[in-house]
Amino acid sequence: MTAEYQVHGDVAVITLANPPVNGLGLSTRQGIVDGLDRAQADAAVAAIVITGAGKAFSGGADIKEFGTDKALQQPNLHAVIAAIENATKPVVAAIHSVCMGGGLELALGCHYRLAAPGCSVALPEVKLGILPGAGGTQRLPRVVGVEAALNMIVSGETVKSELIGSMPGQKLFDKMAASPEALAAEALAFAQSIAAVRPLPLVRNLPCKHPEGDAYFQFARNMVKGMAKNYPAPLKCVDAVEAATKRKFADGLAYERELFINLMWTSESRALRHLFLAERAASKIPDVPADTPQRSIQSVAVIGAGTMGGGIAMNFLNAGIPVKMLEMKQEALDRGIATIRKNYEAQVKKGKLKQDKYEQRMALLTTTLDYADLKDADLVIEAVFEELGVKEAVFKQLDAVMKSGAILASNTSTLDVDKIASFTQRTQDVVGLHFFSPANVMKLLEVVRGEKTAKDVLATVMAMAKKIKKTAVVSGVCDGFIGNRMIEQYGRQGGFLLDEGCTPEQVDKAMEKFGMAMGPFRMGDLAGNDIGWAIRKRRYQEKPDMKYSKTADLLCEKGRFGQKTGAGWYDYLPGKRDAIPNAEVVKMIEDHRAALGITPRKISDEEIVQRLVFSLVNEAAHILEEGIANKASDIDVVYIFGYGFPIYRGGPLNYANEVGLFNVVQAMQRFAQNPLDDAKFWQPAPLLARLAAEGKTFN
């Protein structure tokens, strides 16, 4: 059982013990009910305390059980809470650290609640695309008031226990413990003090009203509608809380249950639950045990004070880790420092960063022109010009000066990390850390594992990624790793669509309607069309039979690199990011079509979306087959956190699962018939073909 039972004097204590966060899985739920039965059958027991072992009271329902029959097996959470409410002896919740979701609902079913300060309290279900499904929407308003409850439920945000405990009139906590350490003893004493009190208080019997009633909920709906656009759950949260003020408790509970079950089956909730687990699973590397010893990272060196180097440095300064930046010339260093200052000052101006914090961070930053000054750094990250010769010179220098055991990382976005490692005598200490621009903002970090990269280096950089608040995904060595390798096929399809009859604006609008943060052409203008141009020039040498549309080259030959040149696929007013369609570019595409003898055709948004997204899916299947990515969910994480794929679609592979792999392969076979497309590319990757034929998904 993952719930322990002990008796202290005349108080029975049931301790949830289902690490890591006492998720209310079936065995835990059964353990609570068994404990209640034992306590009620024992005449020597006068009161009952429920608490959690380890780092949580309870993190809620066991998300890993969702979608399995365990989640539905009795006793379900409703039954457990009913057993508590109907107990013949008082049940006291002793809450600490984390009390979330079903964990808070469990506590709300208890007759009394004690909380230690510093406990994170939340009903975060809305972040999983659902809503509290075990009475939270009906009980929380009864103890903290309708408005505070609705705010917590619609936002899913965490509130500290001491803040709630200090709210006038709150009835969530009967008593605040002096400290987390004092909670257990205080809970026992409290339980003894109320052991004989009858009737046993029930939250469900408390009144629940809002003075303005309809007007308030109409206002709440208008507010929520704006921020919830692609997600159905927030508005249902309003419905559920409104029901608490209008219906008898039992009816409100039944209504909440109905809303909960309906939301559980939405694709948005499946996507959010998939990503919750995917993001956490990404930090696990199959052949690197979780207890692999890590190297200590107390100081970092960054080579290159350009846009990437500066952004990378900021991540470590933000985490309180000293950084020493090296450049070849003083003016480059001065420029780099000035950019970092400008970024921080902008945050201070917006009130997002306190002045003293800004100064603390800048105090951690030092600079040098001399490699010898870097020798004591535990980790060095090079962010120099993306050319192998330049990387070779840098890594030869680093190999000569860095202390033994230092980790040597390259921020390369496409070059071969094994080749880079070969420039040193310590290939086991070399790893790729591919930050995404802007490096101090984008959450994604591709950790590129070289052939020889040591396991403790991987364990160290994955833990370091968490420390600097990055979502790290391990990639093997190939051209473009995971993200850029897939985006190359996506970009190729975008070019073919232009040749066949689309305008850049039509393609972008279709993809943005699908949910992408930015369509491929606006994204090219942001990143710089010259980057893709350089890669294609390499491709034309390496893979002469790989088909490309020439339109992007024609654009670059006009110097239209995008926002940085004020013009790309679109025009941009100085200092503005709004993409303004340009008639000349459209004409250039039309003339190019005519020169190829192509008669333009009308292409539907659906075809645009399928060709672009399925090109990602097919390339991803190859990446999985080659072992470049460890698991499908890692690839979804890359696309959500690095390429603006819509969260409510869960990533390209989750989306393919939702469409059905059989349908994806069918569509690809149609695309292969198009003489202007690349039939060879649309041959389904063997893994995709097999999964589709077997009616399986990528999971």
Site of interaction with ligand T1G (CB under 6 A): 20-21, 23, 59-64, 77, 98, 100-102, 105, 124-125, 128, 132-134, 136, 280
CB of 149 to ligand T1G, least distance (A): 14
Q: Which is nearer to ligand T1G, 264 or 313 (CB)?
A: 264
| DSSP 8-state assignment for residue 653 | H
Q: Concatenated DSSP letters for 502-536?
A: --HHHHHHHHHHHT-SS-HHHHHHHH-HHHHHHHH
What is the Cα–Cα distance from 82 to 109, expressed in whole angstroms? 7
382 is catalytic: no
Q: Which is nearer to ligand T1G, 478 or 640 (CB)?
A: 640
Residues 6+ apart with CB under 8 A from 266: 129, 232, 233
CB of 103 to ligand T1G, least distance (A): 7
CB of 64 to ligand T1G, least distance (A): 5
What phi, psi does 436 have (nearest 5°)? -105, 140
CB of 119 to ligand T1G, least distance (A): 11
105 is catalytic: yes
Distance spanning both ends of the chain, measured CA to CA: 29
Q: Concatenated DSSP letters for 329-354?
A: SHHHHHHHHHHHHHHHHHHHHTTSS-
CB of 608 to ligand T1G, least distance (A): 35
8 Å CB contact between 101 and 122: yes
Question: Which residue in the list 4, 65, 85, 125 is annotated as catalytic?
Answer: 125
What is the Cα–Cα distance from 20 to 637, expressed in whole angstroms? 22
What phi, psi does 655 have (nearest 5°)? -65, -40
Q: Which is nearer to ligand T1G, 157 or 553 (CB)?
A: 157
| DSSP 8-state assignment for residue 572 | -
Buried b (16+ CB within 10 A) or exposed e, 584-609: ebeebbeebbeeeeeeeeebeeebbb
Q: Which residue is nearest to ligand T1G (CB)?
A: 101
Q: Which is nearer to ligand T1G, 21 or 474 (CB)?
A: 21
Q: How distant is the alpha carbon of residue 78 from its chain centre?
A: 30
Q: Which is nearer to ligand T1G, 92 or 128 (CB)?
A: 128
CB of 466 to ligand T1G, least distance (A): 8
Q: Which is nearer to ligand T1G, 210 or 273 (CB)?
A: 273
What is the Cα–Cα distance from 519 to 589, expressed in whole angstroms? 18
What is the Cα–Cα distance from 273 to 214, expressed in whole angstroms? 33
Question: Which residue in the list 85, 105, 256, 327 is annotated as catalytic?
Answer: 105
Q: Which is nearer to ligand T1G, 124 or 524 (CB)?
A: 124
CB of 265 to ligand T1G, least distance (A): 13
Q: Beta 570-571 vs 580-581: how paired, if at all?
A: antiparallel
Please give the positions annotated as active site. 105, 125
